[in-house]
Structure 1
Amino acid sequence: MFHFSSGITLGDHNITNDGPDCDRKSCADIPVDVGFEKVIFHEDYIPSQKGRFNDIALIRLDRSVGFSDYIRPICLPTEAGVRASNNVGLETIAAGWGVTENDDYSDVLRKVSLTVVDQRKCAQLYRTKFRLRNSQLCAGGQPGKDTCLGDSGGPLMRQVGNTFYLYGIISFGPEKCGTTGIAGVYTNVVQYVDWIRRKVE
């Protein structure tokens, strides 16, 4: 059995459910359990590799999932203006159910605003362990604002108007989440758009 802590919806979906569950802090759809037909890992991903290079996978669900106010697709960064290679200073949003400041997993989806930081500066922070690649990007480094254990696989998004674009996939970060000056590392989706397109065709 596979457990994925977070995920990103790229395709078309249409399961319905009975109505919203408003017993929690915010109203959300009733959870829908969905299995999968296939998991496509990147061919060059090596789980034991320290740098987690090519940390990306696609999951084909065994049935459709209906769109709602809480389940929506996200766009790949394919447009030239959105796909700019220099993302330094870009404001992004990460989301997940990972460990919070209380050292417990969240039972509600949480989000955090993070700024993309210079790749060379970020590489210096991790240089004793491995060398970052262009297929990775860094965001965060502000005190108390970070993704954490359990968020891996979730999105790093950029909002342009009413449209959200998938810029990164949460990969890993500092040993202590939210450490000042140490950004988290994300799979740079711009570098994998062609791979994604080939695999979903």
Structure 2
Amino acid sequence: MKILVCLLAVVVAVVVGLPQRLEPIKLNPSKLALLPRECGVAKYGPRSDGIKSQAFEFPWIALVLFKQTRRPATCFGTLINQRYVLSVIGCVRKTKKDPDFIRLGEQSALTNPDCSELKQRDGSVRKECAGPTVEIPIESYVAHPEFDQPMYTNDLALMRMAREVQYNDYIRPICLPTTPELLNNIPRDLLMTAWELDANVPTHYVGELEKYQIENMDLDSCQREYEKAGFTPDFEYKRFCAAQKGPNYVCSRMAGAPIGAVVDVEGTQRHVQFAMAKFAPLNCTARQTVPIISMRISEYMGWITNNLEP
């Protein structure tokens, strides 16, 4: 018999009058144990200067790649333990091919290895470089069974790598919401990390990993902004809305881009992934007012943990 731990938490919907989840979230403790307790800690924390990321800043960022395509396609993802990457299935369905491998430790497509210039207290600058990127074949993947391709709802996939990846300063796992407090709350101020994409091939990354300041937004306000822009997306409790704060805005496709924040987890500041970006208008002007629709990770924690294997 499988023993389930009932986290006494009702996920609080961020909108009045929309459907709410009323059942407690149930997570299998043996599966939950497959997620590392040591997670979400980068060698250097997120910096607030500009949108360009630095080496070592987001060591959990993963790329899901396809070799058998005219141009290498890319899905975004995050490393959640030594064998699994959390990504999106819509990218796989659109490519119409199975993904081939995971690339970890990438911060820029322009350099390998990636380096950062770190300002010292005395005003001098020290250059520090990460190691080379790591590529691991994908052994298998699991798509969410309720994925709806026309609407791209429940757009999640777990990619299992053929071997364990060894953690280091530039390859580390992100935290997922596993405690009642994290399952119930999403911070107001958040950070989204997304790749600079090729304008002609929007599934192919070409530049550097970028970071954008975004703000938690209630679904009522979010829905009004979409209606004013002429969109009528489906809003329900599994969705999450976030408005870009500017002055820089991501204008390319960013399905699968992680949205998270550094929060206190049992006395340690850790980066927790609270959502995964799903949809926003491609018009850059519209994105200044129309929020990003995302998937709330807390609503999928049961599915995620149940599909993990040792």
Shift of 1:58: 0.8
1:176 aligned to which of 283, 287, 307: 283
Q: Give the structure 2 partner of residue 166 of structure 1.
A: 273
Alignment match, 1:92 = 190
User: Is 1:142 matched up with 2:245?
Assistant: yes
Higher gyration radius (CA): 2
TM-fit CA distance, 1:106: 4.8
Corresponding residue number in structure 2 for 1:62: 162
Question: Residues 17-166 of structure 1: matches in 2 within 5 Å?
Answer: 21-22=113-114, 27-49=129-151, 52-85=152-185, 87=186, 90-99=188-197, 105-127=205-227, 128-161=231-264, 162-166=269-273
Paired with 1:66 and 1:39, the residues of 2 have a C-alpha distance of 20
> Contact (CA 8 Å) 1:146, 1:184: kept in 2 or not?
no
Provide the rounded CA distance (Å) in 1 between the counterparts of 2:208 and 2:249.
Answer: 16
Aligned residue for 2:148, secondary structure, equals coil
Q: Name the structure 2 match of 1:9.
A: 79
Distance between the aligned counterparts of 1:137 and 1:64, measured in 2? 32
Give the drift of 1:9: 0.7
What whole-Å deviation, never above 9, does each CA across 1:166-197 have from its counterpart, x for those lacking one? 10112121222462221111111010011111
Question: Per-residue CA shift, 1:102-134, capped at 9, x if unaligned?
Answer: x99552222112111111111223354322121
Residue 14 of structure 2 corresponds to none
Give the Cα separation in 2 of the matches to 1:147 and 1:57: 23
Q: What's the secondary structure of 1:170's corresponding residue?
A: strand
In structure 2, do the counterparts of structure 1 residues 66 and 156 end up closer, same or farther at CA, with 3 Å as the change threshold?
same
What RMSD, in angstroms, separates the aligned Cα atoms of the two structures? Answer: 3.1
Aligned-pair identity (%): 23
3-state secondary structure, aligned to 1:191: helix
Q: Aligned partners of 2:292 and 2:235: how far apart in 1?
A: 12
Asked if structure 1 preserves the Cα contact closer than 8 Å seen for 2:140 and 2:161, the reply is yes
| Unaligned runs of at least 5 residues, structure 1 | none
SS in 2 for 1:108: strand
Residues 196 and 164 (structure 1 numbering): CA distance in 2 closer, same or farther, change over 3 Å?
Answer: same
How has the CA–CA distance of structure 1 residues 151 and 27 changed in structure 2, closer, same or farther, with 3 Å as cutoff?
farther
Q: Indicate the residue corresponding to 1:198 in structure 2.
A: 306
Task: Supply the distance in 2 between the matched residues of 1:35 and 1:126 (Cα, whole angstroms).
Answer: 40
The TM-score, its normalising length taken from structure 2, stands at 0.54
Query: Which runs of 5 or more residues in structure 2 are unaligned?
Result: 1-64, 67-72, 84-104, 106-111, 118-127
SS in 2 for 1:97: strand
d(CA) in 1 for partners of 2:167, 2:296: 26
Distance in 2 separating the partners of 1:118 and 1:137: 8
> Residues of 1 paired with 2:291 and 2:142: CA distance?
28
